[in-house]
Amino acid sequence: MPKTWDLMRLIDYVAARGAWSLRELGCVGFSGGGMQTLYLAALDERVRWALISGYLYGVRDALLTLNNNCSCNYQHSPRGYFL
């Protein structure tokens, strides 16, 4: 999930600037952005709320196949891990 790591580093940058309060930090995402919002909210406790649209579907579809989705939605998985 390198994109999630990038988003976490973005939050670090915003926090370091000191111009904004992270007290009510939230994230909104649609489709592939919804996937990133889901992972970011799950992995970074600084994200207090998340609004996800157009992403939620089965694990096999989300993680193992593209199903005509943008390649940015594809998450690599170790062989056999999700099977």
List the chain domain ranges.
2-56
Q: What is the pLDDT of residue 30?
A: 87
Pairing mode of beta strands 49-53, 26-30: parallel
H-helix or E-strand containing 49?
strand 49-53
The per-residue pLDDT string of the chain (83 residues; one tens digit each, 9 = 90 and over) reads 568 899 999 999 999 999 888 899 999 998 888 888 999 999 999 999 999 987 766 666 655 665 566 655 555 544 554 44
Q: Which amino acid is at 50?
A: A
The pLDDT score that the predictor gives to residue 70 is 60
